[in-house]
Amino acid sequence: MMFMRAHGLKRGFTLIELLTVIAIIAVLAAILFPVFSRARAKARQTTCLSHLQQLGSAATMYSSDHNDFIVPWSVTHPGTAGWTPPSGHENEPWPTVATWDTSLQSYIRNEDMVKCPSNPMDADARAYAIAQYTQRPYGAAPNEKSFGGHKDSIPAPTKTVLLFEKGQNAPGSWGDALGQNVYQDHGDVCTIADAEMWHVEGKNFLFLDGHAKYVPGGAGPFAWEGQGSTTFDGPGCCYNWGKASKGGDWPSIED
Domain boundaries, the chain: 13-216
Element spanning 103, H or E: helix 100-103
pLDDT of residue 202: 83
Mean per-residue pLDDT, 44-65: 94
Residue 80 near residue 94 (C-beta atoms within 8 A): no
DSSP state of 151: G
Cis peptide before 137 (omega within 30 of 0): no
Split at pLDDT 50, 70, 90, the class of 124 is: very high
Q: Count CA atoms closer than 13 A to 251's CA, side-chain side.
A: 21
Q: How confident is the prediction for the chain on average, in pLDDT?
A: 76
- Lowest model confidence (mean pLDDT) among 22-36, 68-82, 204-218: 22-36
CB-count exposure of residue 96 (10 Å: 0-12, 13-18, 19+) = middle
Residue 76 near residue 82 (C-beta atoms within 8 A): yes
The partner residues of 150 in beta bridges, in order of sequence, read 69
Residue 202 near residue 49 (C-beta atoms within 8 A): no
Highest-confidence range of 147-156, 168-177, 241-250, by mean pLDDT? 168-177
Residue 99 near residue 174 (C-beta atoms within 8 A): yes
Element spanning 30, H or E: helix 15-65
- Lowest model confidence (mean pLDDT) among 38-47, 97-106, 116-125: 38-47
For the chain, percent helix, then strand, then coil, each to nearest 5?
30, 15, 55
Q: What pTM did the predictor assign?
A: 0.75
Split at pLDDT 50, 70, 90, the class of 254 is: low
Asked whether the predicted pLDDT for residue 233 surpasses 90, the reply is no
Asked whether the predicted pLDDT for residue 252 surpasses 90, the reply is no
CA dist 55 and 200 (Å) reads 22
Split at pLDDT 50, 70, 90, the class of 34 is: low
pLDDT of residue 20: 79
Mean per-residue pLDDT, 57-80: 88
